[in-house]
Every structure is written in C-alpha cells, then in structure tokens.
Amino acid sequence: MTSSLIENVALQAAQRCIERECGASYSLDDRLYVCRRCGGLLEIARGSESADTAETLRGVWQQRLASNDVRDRSGVWRYRELLPFGEDARVVSLMEGNTPLYDARRAARYCGLDNLKLKHQGCNPTGSFKDTGMTAAVTQAALLGVETVVCASTGNTSASLAAYAARADLKCAILVPRGQISHAKLAQSLDYGAAVLELEGNFDDCMRVIRELAEDESFYLVNSINPFRIEGQKTVAAEMLQQLEWNVPDHVVVPGGNLGNSSALGKGFVELYELGVIDRLPKLSVVQAGGAAPFAQLFADRQMLTGKDAEGVNWLGSVSLIAIEHPQTLASAIKIGSPISWKKASRAVVETGGFVLSVSENEIADAKAVIGRDGIGCEPASATTVAGIKRLVADGLIKSDETIVAVLTGHVLKDADYAINYHRDTLFTHDRTPGKSKEERHIAGLFGNPPARVKATKQGILDQLARREEGKDYAGGDD
C-alpha cells in the first residue's frame, strides 16, 4: 500500500514556482534553482493521494521504528511517503534525524511557562539540523549524476554538505565568510575533505557568488534555495509530531537566518494537515538576532505580528524584504542580512498564525546558558528560540499553559569559544561603531559559571566548593 503511495508521490510531484501569478511547473529531474519564467523560488508540489491514508501512514511510521532497514533507521527516510523520490532511489544517509524531544524544566520556568519541550536537532550526525535536508539534496545530486556539490554557508550547511558529499563520493566545494564561522564548523568541513574556500566578505556575499557559480552546469547548488533540501528538512515536523503522539502543540518556535528551516517546517505541518495526519496547525514563529533581523523588521513594519490569513496572502505579493547590509550578531550561524527564503517563510508564519520577532545579544546569551543548565545545551543561534519565547510570554502572546516546542538547531560544541567567553565574562560583540567603548560591547551574562583555579590539594578543592555553595564565585543562581 505505502510503496504504491511513494510511487504516486514521486510520479505526480513536480517543481513548482511559488509565485501565485506564475506557478510554472518543472519536472523533478530538471536542474534549476529558481523559476525560469519569473525568477521565483521553487518548491516541490505533491500529487494527490487517496483519502484514507492518514491512519495507514501513522501506522507504517510507527512500525518502522522497530525496523533495521537503513531507510527506516533514518528519521528522514522513515517518512519517505512525504518525499519526492521513488521507492528504489539510492539514498545517501548518515541515519540523520531521530533527535530527542526533551522536557526542559528550567528553561520553561525561565520563560514563564508550565512546560517547554526542546527538539534538539543539534543531535544530528554532523551536529546540526542541516543533515535532515542534506540527505535529500545529496540523494538528488547523486540521482542527477552531478560531479560537484557546492554551497555558501555560515558553517553548518557546509559541515553537513561536506559529510554527505563524502558519503556519496561527490566532489564538494564550500564558500564561507573568512574568519566568521566557528572553529568547530571549519574543522568538520576540513575533516570531511571538502574544498573550503574562505571569502573576504560576509555570508550574503558568499551566497551571491555561489549563485553565479551554480550557473555553470558542473556545479550543483544545495543551499536551501534547492527545493530538495527543504523536502528533507520538512520531515522534522513529522518526527516531532510522532514523538508527541500526534498531539499538535500550540506553538513551534525556530531561529531565523536564511529562513530555510522555517519554510521547511511550515511546509511539513501544512502537508501533514492536508493529509489528515494532524487535525490543526501549530503556530510557527521565527526569532532572529537583533543585529541580523530583516525578516523581523519586515513583519514589524507591516504590523504583521499576528498575521491574518487573507490579509497576509495579499500582503505577500506587494512587499519586498529590505536586506541589511552589515548584519551583526555573535550567533554567527544566523548572521545573515538577505535571507533567500523569506517569501516561503512569510507564507508559513502567516498560514499558521505565528509571530516574527528579534532578540538582543544579551537575551540570546542568557537563554543559551539556561538551556545548558537543563543539561541540554545548544549553539547561540538556537537559543534565540528560548529568548523569543520568554518575550512572547511576557507580551501575552503565548500563555503559560500552552504547549510549546522550541527547535534547537545546533549542538553546544559547535561554538565552544562563545560558551567559554560567556562563562568567563569575556564575551564582547564585534560592533565596531566608532565611539562604542569596549564596555558597551560587553555582554554581561546573568548565569556565568567561570572555571576556578585551585591549589592541587584536597583542602583547596573543598574550600573552593564551599565558596561556590555560598554563591561567592558563581552567579548562576541555584534553585
């Protein structure tokens, strides 16, 4: 039953322009990134399926949790009925997905909530959510028979692509802004054997150049402009909901950078809803870092914080996002001024009735430390979610008894320097505005936990631990 469903999806699916007035359609094996007719973004449009599939799908996905088939072990390919690939497609997988959904007691209290769940996409094979999309994009690259896969990146996409390209035996070239990605991410890409090209400029410059490069047939671009990436990433919606036993949360909150993730989750939720697998949509909200928040600015300008459906759809056709030329944030993963997928993400937020907002560097830093204190941890960009939720609760837009899932996008070890500087109280923004003092650039955290130097004696250690108990050396605040 489901293998025929897979074939149906694969056969009937097409690449379609998202612009309503255009809607041009292209076959799945057509190699293009934007619409040839109007330049609009492309998405995979599913074919129609029979009406009674929801229960079957839920049953099959549940059974697969106990299977040893390589595709069933992957938290992406387990949901292959949702994907535009045939049953016999040779998948390139690192058994991505399967990430935990944690209860976060302290983070909930910090936000003013009864409960908060954290879906930790940083527990993927290369330590970020990118793997769920990359398995699909590199599978497509291999099917197309391309020689070299390429991307521009703030570090995680490149680490992920480098790994999947190595698995598929494809050549890989990545463009990163020199000196602006974390050591850990750079180290990964080098280890996985990619050609790492460091550009003078920021991520947006890398994105511009890589798109020019991809006009050359020998390079296949797998940034989230590639609709197959989005397909893989959307399965996170299914995995999360299955973990929740198909009880739809009131809110799902994600960080926003290039806006591929929010676009993908939105698509995932909407498709599950259309298939009847879930009976309502969660509100999908996006949180950006204040210094790199063109999407939040767009919504603030249009007073779209509580986007209404019809209004939103009309509104989308008539506005354009104003890029930020020099984005600034220590959350380097989301230091992006001109997000590619803003239209798809707008649609997702408006369709689901979510919010878009930005938070300060201080809010991000403290939220990250709180997530750490739950024993979970994440990289700075991921912590925008908890900081954003705290704001939304304070503003009365999220109620304390609502059900919330925040998506953590990267592992805590992705940016160890940031964590160490925070806890040592040596975290400074890179803001070089003339006249701005070092003191003004200092991020004074509320939960610093600096390491202590102790004499190499038992008594030295006991004394230090006693001081810590008294709270003298530790600003963390216990409960």
Q: Note the residues at the interface with ligand F0G (CB under 6 A).
A: 128, 130, 153-157, 224, 255-262, 333-334, 379, 381-382, 409-410
Determine the Cα–Cα distance for residues 13 and 25; give it in Å rounded to an integer: 10
Q: Which helix (H) or strand (E) holds 467?
A: helix 458-469
Q: Which of these, 377, 419, 410, lies nearest to 107 by C-alpha position?
A: 377
Q: Residue 48 CB, nearest distance to ligand F0G (Å)?
A: 29
Determine the Cα–Cα distance for residues 459 and 15; give it in Å rounded to an integer: 68
Q: What's the token pair of residue 425?
A: 């109280």
CA distance to 151, 178, 207, per residue, from 201 (Å): 15, 7, 10
- 369 in Cβ contact with 82 (< 8 Å): no
Q: Residue 109 CB, nearest distance to ligand F0G (Å)?
A: 24
* Nearer of residues 242 and 261 to ligand F0G, judged by Cβ: 261
Q: Which helix (H) or strand (E) holds 289?
A: strand 283-289
DSSP 8-state secondary structure symbol assigned to residue 282: P
* Nearer of residues 99 and 258 to ligand F0G, judged by Cβ: 258
Determine the Cα–Cα distance for residues 245 and 278; give it in Å rounded to an integer: 10
Q: Residue 443 CB, nearest distance to ligand F0G (Å)?
A: 19
Determine the Cα–Cα distance for residues 398 and 94; give it in Å rounded to an integer: 37
Instruction: Provide CB contacts within 8 A for 388, sequence distance 6+.
Output: 253, 285, 287, 357, 359
* Nearer of residues 120 and 390 to ligand F0G, judged by Cβ: 120
Q: Residue 397 CB, nearest distance to ligand F0G (Å)?
A: 21
* Nearer of residues 159 and 275 to ligand F0G, judged by Cβ: 159
* Nearer of residues 53 and 99 to ligand F0G, judged by Cβ: 99
* Nearer of residues 17 and 264 to ligand F0G, judged by Cβ: 264
* Nearer of residues 142 and 345 to ligand F0G, judged by Cβ: 345
* Nearer of residues 258 and 421 to ligand F0G, judged by Cβ: 258
* Nearer of residues 61 and 102 to ligand F0G, judged by Cβ: 102
Q: Residue 154 CB, nearest distance to ligand F0G (Å)?
A: 4
Collapsing DSSP states into helix, strand and coil, what is residue 220?
strand
Q: Which of these, 148, 185, 187, lies nearest to 168 by C-alpha position?
A: 148
Q: Residue 224 CB, nearest distance to ligand F0G (Å)?
A: 6
Q: How many other β-carbons are positioned within 10 Å of the β-carbon of residue 439?
A: 8
DSSP-derived secondary structure for 15-55 = EEE--TTT--EE-TT---SB-TTT--BEEEEP----TTHHH
Q: Residue 32 CB, nearest distance to ligand F0G (Å)?
A: 21
- 410 in Cβ contact with 379 (< 8 Å): yes
Q: Residue 263 CB, nearest distance to ligand F0G (Å)?
A: 7
Q: Residue 106 CB, nearest distance to ligand F0G (Å)?
A: 21
